[in-house]
Amino acid sequence: MKKSRKNHSAKFKAKVAMAALKGDKTIAELAQQYQVHATQIQQWKKQLQEQAELAFTKGIVLNSGEEEKSKELYEKIGQLTMERDFLSEKLGR
């Protein structure tokens, strides 16, 4: 019988990786505590270390980009609503 893989949330991975970075417990202890293979914890820890700077740079860029996109979408919604109302009047609905 084939075992299915567990899909861990990003929040869980971050929690485990942060615990590994803290260094209070060994990787083996964390593996037992969180029921995750030690190699997986090492990978998450490495990924967190390599991408930590993104938490401070990319977030700002994404937020402003999302805000601009949201503004454009609201403008488009307004335009389409006006066009619909205009056509409804002309068609007598």
Instruction: With CA atoms as reference, report the closest residue to 26 among 12, 45, 10.
Output: 45
**Pair 47, 73 in one domain:** no
Residue 2 lies in a domain: no
> Is 42 found in the same domain as 31?
yes
Q: What are 44-92's pLDDT values in tens digits?
A: 999 999 888 877 775 555 556 677 788 888 899 989 899 898 888 888 8
Question: What is the total count of domains within the chain?
Answer: 2
How far apart CA 85 and CA 77 sit, in angstroms, is 12
User: Judging by beta carbons within 10 Å of its beta carbon (0-12, 13-18, 19+), is residue 36 exposed, middle or buried?
Assistant: middle
| Confidence (pTM) | 0.57
d(CA 42, CA 45): 5
Q: Does residue 77 sit within a domain?
A: yes
